[in-house]
Structure 1
Amino acid sequence: MGISNTIITTTFLMVPVYFLLKRWTLPFGSITLLYTVNFVLMTIIRGFENAEVIGIGVVAGLLADIFIQQKKFNVLAVVLPLFIWVVFYVGIAIFEGMGWDPELWTGAIVLSTIWSFILHYMIRVPEREADRQSTHFKEKNVI
């Protein structure tokens, strides 16, 4: 797995989340379900070689759901890929031995995090109309 695979996988993991957030208000647990199914299917394709990766998907989904409920989309765009790839590469280094120099795999993590942030701004999750109206209503009643 190279740096390009890390960036492509980041794209496949983050873009659906951004499009879902752009269109709907998601209930808690929806990204956990999305990531768990995704990571299970990736593990099945690889013949259950590294089934512990499923745990990364579950925890990453829960982390995403927490940030979504708190409406911290910028933080989500940075923390989620950072968490996924740090845990993934550290797990590989511990259990299988890392064939890359530290500069290479940390560079892959940084690039995927920057790419996720760029994707976030390209798709631009807007503030919802209902959120704007409730804020506007509160401001008018204060005066």
Structure 2
Amino acid sequence: MDSGEPRGWVSPRTDLVTALLGVWFGVGLMIDAWAHTNLTELETFFTPWHAVFYSGFAVVSGWILWQVWRNVRTGRQGLAAVPTGYLAGLVAIPAFAAFGFADMMWHTILGIETSLDILFSPSHLGLIVTMLLIITTPLRSAWNAPDVGARPALGRLLPALIGLAFATTLVSLFLSYGDAMQYRPARIVEAFSSVNDPGADRLALAMVVTNVVVLSPVLLLARRWVLPFGSVTVMYTIAVLMPGAQTEFQNVPVLVSFIVAGLVSDLLVRWLRPSGERRGAYWAFAGLSAFATWTLYIGISSVAGGGLPAVPELWTGAPIIAGLIGLALGALFLPNAVAAKDAGAGTIDAGRA
């Protein structure tokens, strides 16, 4: 039974706690991903890294449930007791637990995956989708929060940035077979030094996939808000943690290139001021941010890897293709300019979830 009151919002501090507990959850997954990638002798579900991962789930779930219970104690019932933005995360909690049990049974019966098969396991896919819903709770909470406004400060938007950035790491994890952030500088130079190297095709495709994965969340936010300086740097710094964990941080120059790209993108935001109301600036930001990111990727990799690749068409054309894909993403995310009051109108229901 629903008591009928309008659903309210939690405080910014509560959202920050939700985001930080989500960090525990996300880092636990990174440790688990490192173990599955680098410890081929895994033979059991009960491991220290699973303990970190599932304890992270327990604490963030307990915190979300506590927010609902606090409202129940004031007399609210049904959906009225669920804070705005917290419903999807609340529903995902029992679903995640069910997939966790399924994963334990899967490992017990079929063994532990340590290769590509880990990314296609049905129980893992269920875990990742429900985890994504849980850790993006601060984003949905902030989406239409009355105190955020069109030009939020970095501190106010930080919980949403953290949640969305960790969600990006989940996507990159399950697209690891197409993750350009996992390449080492020397391999990037080698792959783009011969058109006959099959690695050139794979690297080019990985750059396309990674470009879409890292840029899309930024464009989502830039459509909703005028991003405060530092937003993209925060997101890209978090985004490199998953491929870093998987490669045991043996590709630091490549990871650093993305952090620098985040800073450059923040400078582009300050210069262009992209928003849902400024379609031209939004499109320009999407294209230039992608172009800068992959120019830095190849440039820093070349410095660290011993020189520029031998095929100039590849290392000059790849950033241009990335920029064109970024421009296309910008056009898809914002086909027409929107009025400020309508910037989040298409997703109000999603924000309330």
Q: Offset at 1:65?
A: 2.2
Query: Matched residues in 1 for 2:296 and 2:284: separation?
Result: 18
Unaligned stretches of 5+ in structure 2?
1-201, 275-280, 342-353
Is residue 77 from structure 1 mapped to residue 278 from structure 2 by the alignment?
no
Deviations 1:37-89 (A, max 9, x none): 11232222221112123332332222222333433323321221212211211
2:321 to 66, 87, 111: 111
Find the counterpart in structure 1 of residue 262 from structure 2: 61
The one of 77, 83, 88 equivalent to 2:297 is 88
Confirm or deny: 8 A CA contact 1:81 1:113 kept in the other structure.
yes
Matched, 1:37 2:231: no
1:49 maps to 2:49: no
Question: Percent identical across equivalent pairs?
Answer: 25
Deviations 1:110-133 (A, max 9, x none): 211111100110111744425xxx
C-alpha separation in 1, matches of 2:236 and 2:323: 17
Q: Which residue of 2 aligns with 1:139?
A: none
Residue 240 of structure 2: SS of its match in structure 1?
A: helix
| Equivalenced residues, count | 132
| Contact 1:67–1:75 (Cα < 8 Å) also in 2 | no
| SS of the residue 1:2 aligns to | helix
Contact 1:43 1:53 in 2 (8 A): no
1:107 and 1:17, CA in 2 relative to 1: closer, same or farther beyond 3 A? same
The 2-side partners of 1:75 and 1:83 are apart by 12
Change (3 A) 1:36 1:115: same
Q: Which has the larger radius of gyration?
A: 2
The whole-number CA distance in structure 1 between the counterparts of 2:292 and 2:259 is: 12
Q: Residue in 2 aligned with 1:140?
A: none
Partners of 1:39 and 1:53 within 8 A in 2: no
| Contact 2:229–2:266 (Cα < 8 Å) also in 1 | yes
User: TM-score scaled to structure 1, two decimals?
Assistant: 0.76
Counterpart position of 2:223: 22
Alignment match of 1:129 (pick from 311, 324, 340): 340
* Contact 2:218–2:232, Cα closer than 8 Å, also in 1: yes
What is the alpha-carbon distance in structure 1 between the residues aligned to residue 204 and residue 228 of structure 2?
Answer: 33
SS of the residue corresponding to residue 215 of structure 2 reads helix
Q: Contact between 2:268 and 2:289, CA under 8 Å: does it hold in 1?
A: no
For the 8 Å contact 2:258–2:297, the answer to whether it is kept is: no
TM-score, L = length of structure 2: 0.34
The equivalent residue for 2:190 is none
| Greater per-residue helix proportion | 1
- Stretch moving more, 107-116 or 86-95: 86-95
